[in-house]
Amino acid sequence: MRSLLLALAVVVVLTLISLLIGAGDLSLSALLSPQDGDRSAQILVVSRIPRTVALVLAGMAMAVAGLLMQMLTQNRFVEPSTAGTVESASLGLLVVTLFAPDMPVFGKMLVATGFALAGTALFLRILRLVPLRSVLTVPLVGIMLGGIISAVTTFFAYRFDLMQSLNAWTTGDFSGVLRGRYELLWVTFALTLLAYLAADRLTLAGMGRDFATNLGLHCRSIVSFGLVIVSMVTATVVVTVGMMPFLGLIVPNVASMLVGDNMRRALPWVAVMGAGLVLVCDVAGRVVYYPYEVPIGTIMGIVGSALFLVLLLKGRTRLA
């Protein structure tokens, strides 16, 4: 408990750093004694706070979604981007853009959620048909499925001159976040809370179908419940800020090393570390090329793959 508070303190510090860094001029002294013509307060309210809140929400939600997926598939290598979920959500977004470009963001999110659900359900269905001789088969199946779905998406995006837009959705990027443009992410906060409330059941489901059923759990409905949460979270994040690779893979694995597989205990850790990692990567993206930005998707790809390699090499027995 004490170490969790410590981690929380670190995230709070990161939040403050995130509030103070950006292209615009913002100084603490100006905030404390406002003068005419100074825009610090406005920048803080319109740009910095929304961006930081968006980072925390998206980071928490994506990490929790990763944990959920790993529970449901009983596999440590699965997360929304290795199970076709992200690709399906992107396909959904493309379909909306082609047929109803003026649809409000919430509608776009619902359509993307529908696609994400269908894609993830298809993934789970395939898993039941394929003989799983190795733990690596599961993410491989997911990556292949994702590859097929994104090939379809890319084809239509190419045909309709939407490649650049597709790229804008799939690369995580918070540079467009301003007041009034991220609020949808609060949906993910509600979903994260829901996941926490159902944590015990999800833990049981994570122990396997037979085991969970023996303990009197309606396995099917709890799996569907987890699936809906994962799909909605993924769709919301893709629609508002794009995708962040590796996040849902690394954070739950680190949390599991620290506190084990009890989801109710692991979930706060996952949420805090997810927010922290996203904050670090986004601040780095804002600093390395100041006053311009490197999208967080790129930074996360670099940091994430390095961390993932470390995890693989150090904790091989645990992961497998």
Partner 1 sequence: MTVSARFPRRMAALIAGTLALGFLTVGAHAQDLTIQHSKGVTSVPAKPKKVLAFDLASLDTLNALGVEVAGVPTARFPEYLAKYGSDKYQKVGTLFEPDYEAVNAAEPDLIIVGGRSSARYADLAKIAPTVDLTVDPKDVMGSVKRNVQLLGRIFDRQAEADARLAKLETSMADLRQETAKAGKGLLVLTTGGKMSAYGPGSRFGILHGEFGVVPAVEGLATTNHGQAVTAEFILKTNPDWLFVIDRDVVVGRDGGAAKKVLENELVAQTTAWKKGQVVFLDPVNWYLTGGGITALQASADQIAKAVAKK
d(CA 294, CA 283): 10
Residues of span 38-67 touching partner 1 by CB under 8 A: 39, 42-43, 46-47
Longest dimension (CA), the chain: 69
Nearer to partner 1, 99 or 317 (CB): 99
Q: How many Cβ atoms are within 10 Å of 1's Cβ, its own excluded?
A: 7
For partner 1, the binding residue among 106, 155, 160, 186 (CB under 8 A) is 160
For partner 1, the binding residue among 169, 182, 246, 269 (CB under 8 A) is 169
Selected range binding partner 1 among 112-120, 164-172, 207-215, 270-278, rule: CB under 8 A: 164-172
d(CA 109, CA 113): 6
Tokens of 121: 């359900």
Amino acid occupying residue 245: P
Query: For the CA atoms of the chain, what is the radius of gyration?
Result: 20
Give 191's contacts (C-beta < 8 A, 6+ positions apart): 61, 229, 232, 233
Nearest approach, Cβ of residue 129 and partner 1 (Å)? 37
Nearer to partner 1, 47 or 85 (CB): 47
d(CA 152, CA 229): 25
Q: Using the rule CB under 8 A, is 27 a contact of partner 1?
A: no
In the shown chain, the binding pattern of residues 254 to 293 toward partner 1, with x for contact by CB under 8 A and - for none, equals -------------------------------------xxx
Nearer to partner 1, 160 or 211 (CB): 160
> Which of 40, 20, 42 lies closest to 31, judged by CA?
40
Nearer to partner 1, 97 or 113 (CB): 97
Nearer to partner 1, 36 or 161 (CB): 161
Alpha helices in 100-218 (DSSP H): 105-129, 137-159, 163-170, 186-197, 199-205, 209-214
Q: Using the rule CB under 8 A, is 28 a contact of partner 1?
A: no
Selected range binding partner 1 among 17-25, 81-89, 123-131, 259-267, rule: CB under 8 A: 17-25
Selected range binding partner 1 among 58-66, 111-119, 143-151, 156-164, rule: CB under 8 A: 156-164
Residues of span 85-114 touching partner 1 by CB under 8 A: 97, 101-102
Q: Using the rule CB under 8 A, is 165 a contact of partner 1?
A: yes
The alpha carbon of residue 124 and the mean position of all alpha carbons in its chain are separated, in whole angstroms, by: 19
> Which of 72, 37, 77 lies closest to 222, judged by CA?
72
Tokens of 48: 């910095």
Instruction: Write out the residues near partner 1 by the rule CB under 8 A.
Output: 22-25, 39, 42-43, 46-47, 97, 101-102, 160-162, 164-165, 168-169, 173, 175-176, 178-180, 291-293, 295
